[in-house]
A = this chain, B = another copy of it.
Amino acid sequence: MQENLTKEEKRKKKLDVILRNAAKAFMERGYYKTSLDDIAKMQNVTKPTLYYYIKNKEDILVKCEEITCGRINAMLDMVMAQKSSGYEMLYNFIKEYIIIITDDVARCHVRHRGQMEDEVLRKQSIQNHKDIEFRVREIIRLGISDGSLRDCNSTILAILLFDSLNGLTSWYKSDGPVKEDELIEEVLMLVTQGVRAN
């Protein structure tokens, strides 16, 4: 088809289509109610063909996770490289995070992380999230020590923040009634200012 793509690129693209379709189906119908046959049909191939691209069903979750965590960590690298105040870093992190997880592959990861049946994979998945959470705690601590953030329990705050951000994945649709700009604005206002009138 596309003669200008190398073999490797074509393979990568097909894997991406598989992940994207699977992720969407998992979000709509749930992981266990989506069979590999269902996923195969979306690509107009048969189930065994999938096994050329993935090790097994669970590997879809793992690959979605790798992609998403890779993006988040790269974003964190960028945000933290700017050496601004903790408040500004947190602000930028939230802004970028919302953009990243507004994507089927990322949503799939958020919903299924830490739920692999294979224990090794499950532990790795939990660790991946802990690593990211640790980096966000670092930002919060920075903000507290430079005086730009209120003194608080950084662990609890980080968790609460992730909960409300990750919760977006189950209701926010980029083509829905709430616009992305407005959403980011509200989240940022809530997190930074709270709800109490001044």
Tell me whether A183 is interfacial, beta carbon within 8 Å.
yes
Chain B residues with CB under 8 Å of A189's CB are 150, 152, 194
A162 to B143, CA, bound (A): 26
Chain B residues with CB under 8 Å of A187's CB are 156, 160
Whether A160 lies near B152 (C-beta < 8 A) is no
Contact with B along A136-174 (1 / 0, CB 8 A): 000010010001111111011101111110111001000
Report A51 CB to chain B, min CB distance, Å: 22
A164 to B158, CA, bound (A): 11
Tell me whether A190 is interfacial, beta carbon within 8 Å.
yes
Chain B residues with CB under 8 Å of A183's CB are 156
A117 to B150, CA, bound (A): 45
Contact with B along A71-113 (1 / 0, CB 8 A): 0000000000000000100100000000000000000000000
A31 to B143, CA, bound (A): 40
Whether B115 lies near A30 (C-beta < 8 A) is yes
Tell whether A195 pairs with B191 under 8 Å between CB atoms, given A163-B164, A166-B167.
Answer: yes
Chain B residues with CB under 8 Å of A117's CB are 33
Tell me whether A198 is interfacial, beta carbon within 8 Å.
yes
